[in-house]
């Protein structure tokens, strides 16, 4: 019976050690993921998270090696063996009625012990949930540039403009609100400096899908009798002649270059993303009626250089 | 320590029998004592602890609290010889140990015969030991320690078990000879007998003003008592509990503990560590357990330590009680 008792304690010690290693592995994973989140935010290599993780594992292993009181740990985990197991173990080499009775009782209790009683299942569940949450956070942070968001959080106007530009780059057009009201019209966020930048009051050309000229509507994409958010056409001077310069918000955009006294002429701007060779790109071809204008323009630039 | 290998099979069987019935035995003893004594359960438990550890105890309390009655009743229940020794200033050592007397034989010859003193018993109640002279006290203490009496060239062994219960009256200390600290240390415990509660006092009045005198029955024999004493020594103790007991004893020494230094002049000796472990073993056995817990040590700390600690002048001036000091020490340990 004495030998059986000693074997049972040794077996329990092995199970305990296995559970401790499992908990250590769980902790190491959570530690790695936590530091991986920090590395992702800081745009550093995720492999750097291994350093604190390895440090933690080494420290934890050395601490557990020092505190290798198996009997005390078993007693703590199972309340009903409190003080009894230690007493039986410390006196395992003594032979008398009372010690035999104690060892018999404790052995019986140990037979009813389950390995799961050594594990804090709630804590393990929390660690699993934390791991999943951290993995998800890493995935989200990989897509969103958190630093940019944090830098621009307080500049709402700039943030929205940047988001709009990002959407434009991806070909997402901003639709007018129902009723045709321009969401930006009357926006309190447009400042005087913005007006100066745009060269006009708020309003102007409406963005929208290219529907082609509206009969009798004055033409132009999204043109409206109401004020254009992009402001009045600003004039560019080429060879001393004022040239109307309207920026189109369409994908690829349209650049209108016209003389004040001449009819509006449209020149299709080249879409950099859809660029094909000059031989195949019909839109890239400049009509004969525009050749002189463009030629003069570049000759002027060369002359200035 | 005796192990089962040194005992015969018969002895082992008897030990097993006694061990199996031990929890029930204590309850029966308590029931029998309660027929005669109302309350004082803690006192009864501590006296039994002293008996089971084969040690002696000091009993302190005001007159009329039933000290003699408790001891006599326990002696009756355990089938042990009981003798009472009233200590007075004129008590001689030979009055304690016995003396040689001249006796005439049948053939008209005179020879010395040793007349046994009251110490030749199983349970000796030495009432008001502080009234006896130091010489008489030392004769008793020697018998307690050696378990034998030597007169002239002859040594007489005392019967087993031998248990001395010495009482002290905490009042009327004038003209008394308080036991020196070195001698007080030989007693395992100092048991305080307090006034009974109101309900208990009503029971006492009912018991001793009625028509019938309460009678007790024998519960355990002398041999069984000795077997219980063997079982007490067999009780296992874990290393952690041993360390706890030693820490408590060491914490009473002013050179080891700041708290002790602030309250005490002298702390407990290693006899206290031994006493704590032995008393805790007996307590665990009485309560039907097969292991000693820290709670046992904490409970027996009070009776085991209170007569071994000497308060310093400052504590005495402030009216500090030794039990409060023990409480503080237990919190630290």
User: Mean per-residue pLDDT for B120-126?
Assistant: 93
Mean pLDDT by 10 residues, chain A (305 residues): 86 86 91 91 86 91 71 79 90 90 89 78 90 90 69 66 76 51 44 46 47 47 49 57 56 50 48 46 63 84 73
The pLDDT score that the predictor gives to residue B141 is 86
Comparison of pLDDT for B130 and A191, the residue scoring more: B130
B236 touches A: beta carbon within 8 Å: yes
Pairing of strands B163-168, B57-61: parallel
Q: What is the CA radius of gyration of chain B?
A: 21
**Cβ neighbourhood burial of A104 (10 Å; 0-12, 13-18, 19+):** middle
Q: Which residue in B12, B19, B293 is closest to A83 by CB distance?
A: B293
Whether A97 and B292 lie within 8 Å, measured CB to CB: no
Could A96 and B292 be called an inter-chain contact, meaning their C-beta atoms sit closer than 8 Å? no
Percentage of chain B modeled with pLDDT above 70: 97
Strands (E), chain A: 234-238, 241-247, 254-259, 265-268
- Residue B267 has what pLDDT? 92
CB A129 within 8 A of CB A28: no
Q: What is the ipTM of this complex?
A: 0.84
Q: Which residues of B touch A89 (CB under 8 A)?
A: 238
- Reported as a single tens digit per residue, the pLDDT across B23-80 is 788 889 999 998 888 888 999 999 999 999 999 999 998 888 888 889 999 999 998 9
Could you say which of A89, A90, A95 has the minimum Cβ distance to residue B5? Answer: A95
Return the pLDDT at A253.
47
- Minimum distance, in Å, between the CA of residue B148 and any CA atom of chain A: 30
Residue B323 pLDDT exceeds 90? yes
Q: What's the pLDDT score for residue A133?
A: 93
Taking the CA of residue A117 as centre, how many other CA atoms within 13 Å lie in the half-sphere pointing to its CB?
16
Whole-angstrom CA distances from B59 to A6, B48, B63 are 45, 13, 11
Cross-chain residue pair A102–B241, CB shorter than 8 Å: no
Residues of A in contact with B234 (CB under 8 A): 96-99
Over residues B221-241, the pLDDT tens digits come to: 999 999 999 999 999 999 999
Nearest-by-Cβ selection for B238 from A86, A98, A105: A86
Counted across chains A and B, CB pairs separated by less than 8 A come out at 55
pLDDT of residue A149: 66
Query: pLDDT tens digit string along B266-311?
Result: 999 999 999 999 999 999 999 989 999 999 999 999 999 999 999 9
Distance in angstroms between the alpha carbons of the first and the last residue of chain B: 29
In this prediction, residue B326 carries a pLDDT of 95
Calculate the average pLDDT of chain B: 89
Q: Which residues pair with B57 in a beta bridge?
A: B165, B189
Contacts of B19 in chain A (CB under 8 A): 97-98, 101
Distance CA A104, CA A97 (A): 11
Contact A96 B241 (CB under 8 A): no
Backbone angles phi, psi at A238, to 5 degrees: -120, 120
Given a contact cutoff of 8 angstroms between Cβ atoms, the answer to whether B305 and B272 are in contact is yes
Q: In the structure encoding, which two tokens stand for residue A147, read together?
A: 């630093």
Short-list A162, A164, A166, A245, CA closest to A198:
A245
Summarised one tens digit per residue, pLDDT across range A220-229 is: 444 444 445 5
Q: Between B327 and A69, whose confidence is greater?
A: B327
**What is the distance in angstroms between the Cα of A94 and the nearest Cα belonging to chain B?**
8
Cβ-count burial A186-216 (b if 16+ within 10 Å, e if not) = eeeebeeeeeeebebebbbbbbbeeeeeeee
How many whole angstroms separate alpha carbon A79 and alpha carbon B295?
16
Over its C-alpha atoms, chain A yields an Rg (Å, rounded) of 38
User: How many Å apart are CA A22 and CA A14, to the nearest integer?
Assistant: 12
Q: What are the tens digits of pLDDT across the range B165-211?
A: 998 877 766 777 778 877 888 899 999 998 999 998 998 888 888 88
- Give the per-residue pLDDT at B5: 54
Q: Which of A89, A96, A105 sits opposite B234 (nearest CB)?
A: A96
**Closest approach of chain A CAs to the CA of B331, in angstroms?**
19
Rounded CA separation B67/B230 (Å):
27
């Amino acid at each position: 019976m004495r030998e059986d008792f000693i074997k049972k304690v040794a077996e329990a010690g092995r199970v305990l050690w296995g559970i401790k290693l499992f908990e250590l592995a769980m902790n190491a994973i959570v530690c790695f993921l936590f530091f991986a989140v920090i590395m992702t935010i800081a745009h550093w290599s995720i492999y750097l998270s291994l350093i604190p993780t390895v440090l933690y594992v080494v420290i934890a292993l050395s601490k557990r090696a020092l505190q290798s009181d198996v009997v005390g740990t078993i007693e703590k985990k199972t309340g009903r063996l409190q003080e009894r197991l230690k007493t039986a173990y410390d006196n395992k080499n003594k032979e008398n009625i009372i010690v035999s009775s104690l060892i018999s009782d404790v052995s019986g209790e140990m037979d009813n012990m389950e390995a799961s009683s050594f594990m804090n299942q709630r804590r393990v569940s929390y660690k699993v949930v934390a791991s999943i949450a951290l993995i998800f956070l890493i995935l989200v942070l990989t897509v969103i540039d958190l630093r940019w968001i944090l830098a621009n959080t307080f500049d709402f106007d700039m943030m929205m403009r940047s988001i709009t530009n990002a959407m434009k780059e991806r070909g997402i057009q901003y639709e007018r609100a129902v009723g045709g009201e321009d969401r930006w019209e009357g926006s309190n966020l447009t400042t005087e400096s913005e007006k100066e930048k745009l060269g006009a009051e708020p309003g102007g050309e409406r963005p929208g899908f290219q529907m082609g000229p509206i009969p009798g509507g004055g033409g132009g994409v999204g043109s409206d009798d109401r004020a254009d958010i992009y402001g009045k056409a600003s004039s560019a001077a080429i060879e001393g002649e004022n040239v109307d310069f309207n920026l189109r918000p369409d994908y690829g955009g349209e650049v209108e270059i016209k003389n004040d006294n001449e009819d509006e002429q449209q020149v299709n701007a080249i879409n950099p993303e859809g660029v094909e060779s000059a031989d195949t790109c019909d839109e890239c071809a400049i009509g004969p009626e525009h050749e002189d204008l463009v030629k003069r323009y570049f000759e002027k630039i060369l002359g200035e250089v | 320590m005796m192990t089962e290998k040194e005992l015969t099979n018969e002895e082992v069987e008897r030990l097993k029998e006694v061990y199996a019935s031990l929890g029930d035995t204590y309850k029966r003893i308590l029931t029998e004592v309660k027929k005669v004594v109302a309350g004082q359960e803690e006192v009864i438990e501590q006296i039994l602890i002293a008996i089971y550890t084969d040690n002696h105890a000091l009993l302190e309390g005001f007159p009329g609290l039933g000290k003699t009655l408790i001891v006599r009743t326990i002696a009756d229940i355990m089938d042990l010889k009981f003798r009472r020794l009233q200590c007075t200033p004129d008590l001689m050592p030979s009055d304690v140990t016995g003396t040689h007397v001249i006796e005439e034989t049948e053939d008209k010859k005179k020879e010395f015969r040793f007349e046994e003193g009251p110490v030749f018993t199983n349970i000796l109640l030495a009432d008001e030991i502080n009234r006896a002279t130091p010489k008489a006290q030392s004769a008793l203490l020697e018998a307690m320690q050696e378990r034998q009496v030597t007169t002239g060239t002859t040594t007489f062994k005392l019967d087993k078990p031998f248990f001395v219960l010495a009482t002290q009256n905490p009042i009327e200390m004038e003209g008394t000879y308080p036991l020196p600290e070195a001698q007080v240390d030989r007693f395992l415990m100092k048991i305080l007998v307090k006034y009974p509660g109101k309900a208990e006092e009503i029971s006492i009045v009912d018991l001793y003003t009625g028509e019938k005198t309460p009678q007790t029955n024998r519960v355990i024999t002398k041999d069984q008592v000795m077997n219980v004493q063997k079982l007490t020594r067999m009780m296992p103790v874990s290393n952690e509990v041993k360390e706890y007991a030693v820490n408590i004893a060491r914490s009473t020494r002013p050179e080891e503990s700041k708290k002790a230094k602030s309250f005490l002049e002298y702390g407990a000796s290693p006899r206290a560590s031994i006493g704590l472990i032995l008393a805790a073993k007996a307590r665990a056995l009485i309560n039907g357990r097969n292991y000693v817990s820290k709670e046992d040590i904490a409970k027996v700390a009070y009776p085991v330590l209170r007569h071994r600690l000497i308060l310093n002048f400052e504590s005495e001036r402030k009216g500090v009680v030794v039990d409060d000091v023990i409480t503080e020490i237990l919190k630290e340990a």
